[in-house]
């Protein structure tokens, strides 16, 4: 029973990974790519690691996969935020269809 | 050759590649790195193939990113995909040291992506 539920979690995570990477190829802008890819791939990999925990049970590998999932949930949004901040400060432009740039307005307000 | 003909040619090549990948996934799973009495061999073979396909898409974005930020995003995504690949290999081979590789890769990838984003921002590392 645990084995079947774990396999379902692994399948859902792999589907999320594939859709996130299609978004990474198809979307027009750095920020759009960052949003689609980081959210989908982080949650998909967390689902794969939780499925690994359900299949392996309370062994060393299962506890280590829970540990890896916790670290990934902490680290990946931090890295995404750092990339977005660095790209905006380096002067990467938004795509043509975008309607608002609130971070630039905030920086103008500071200066 | 006109530009529209080049567009149609590229579209046709992409369609052929996508259909080939779908047919390969449905017909023939990859039989490697399995221990002998694993149930659901077909599921895990297709899973490993789909993760490899996703990492090839990330490699395409590294190869053809217009700016440096695109390449940094793709390197981050590539590291996270390798963590998932190591987790699936932990299930299929029943060897627990693959998840150790996943944890070490997560730590190293996080630190390297932070350093690369600081480099993009154009500041020193000790700020």
Asked if B29 is an interface residue toward chain A (Cβ–Cβ < 8 A), one would say: no
Give me the domain span that covers residue A99. 2-110
Q: How far is B45 from chain A (nearest CA, A)?
A: 12
Distance CA B103, CA B126 (A): 26
Structural domains of chain A, count: 1
pLDDT at B37: 67
Distance CA A45, CA B82 (A): 9
Angle at B25 between CA B21 and CA B30, to 5 degrees: 115
Taking chain B (127 residues) in consecutive chunks of 10 residues, what is each chunk's mean pLDDT? Answer: 83 87 72 65 82 89 86 91 91 87 92 89 62
Displacement of CA A103 from its chain's centroid (Å): 21
Distance CA B58, CA B76 (A): 9
| Gyration radius from chain B CA atoms | 19
Asked if A59 is an interface residue toward chain B (Cβ–Cβ < 8 A), one would say: yes
Pairs of residues, one from chain A and one from chain B, whose beta carbons lie less than 8 Å apart: 158
φ/ψ (deg, to 5) at B33: 60, 40
pLDDT at B34: 64
ipTM score of complex: 0.89
Structure tokens at A11: 């399948």
Binning pLDDT at 50, 70 and 90, where does residue A9 land?
Answer: very high
Chain A residues closer than 8 Å to B122 by CB: 89-90
Question: Which CATH number goes with the domain that contains A32?
Answer: 1.10.287
Binning pLDDT at 50, 70 and 90, where does residue A45 land?
Answer: very high
Sequence-distant (6+) residues with CB within 8 A of B66 are none
Distance CA B75, CA A82 (A): 14
pTM above 0.90, yes or no: no
Contact B86, A64 (CB under 8 A): no
pLDDT at A3 over 90: no
pLDDT at B66: 83
Chain A residues closer than 8 Å to B100 by CB: 64
pLDDT tens digits, one per residue of A69-111: 999 999 999 999 999 888 888 887 888 888 888 877 877 776 5
Distance CA A2, CA A51 (A): 9
């Amino acid at each position: 029973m645990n084995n079947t539920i774990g396999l379902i979690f692994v399948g859902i995570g792999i589907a999320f990974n594939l859709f996130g990477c299609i978004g990474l190829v198809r979307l027009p802008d750095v920020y759009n790519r960052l949003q689609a890819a980081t959210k989908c791939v982080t949650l998909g990999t967390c689902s794969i690691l939780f499925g690994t925990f359900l299949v392996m049970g309370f062994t060393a590998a299962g506890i280590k996969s829970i540990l890896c999932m916790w670290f990934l949930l902490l680290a990946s949004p931090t890295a995404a935020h750092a990339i977005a901040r660095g790209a905006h400060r380096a002067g990467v432009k938004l795509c043509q269809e975008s309607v608002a740039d609130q971070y630039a307005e905030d920086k103008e307000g500071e200066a | 050759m006109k530009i529209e003909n080049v567009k149609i040619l590229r579209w046709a090549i992409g369609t052929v590649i996508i259909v080939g990948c779908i047919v390969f996934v449905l017909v023939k799973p990859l039989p490697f790195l399995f221990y002998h009495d694993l149930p659901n061999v077909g599921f895990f073979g297709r899973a490993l193939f789909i993760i490899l396909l996703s990492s090839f898409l990330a490699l395409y974005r590294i190869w053809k990113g217009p700016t440096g930020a695109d390449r940094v995003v793709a390197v981050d995504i590539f590291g996270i995909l390798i963590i998932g690949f190591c987790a699936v290999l932990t299930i299929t081979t029943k060897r627990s040291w693959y998840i150790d590789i996943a944890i070490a890769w997560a730590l190293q990838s996080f630190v390297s992506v932070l350093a690369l984003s600081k480099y993009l921002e154009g500041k020193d590392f000790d700020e």
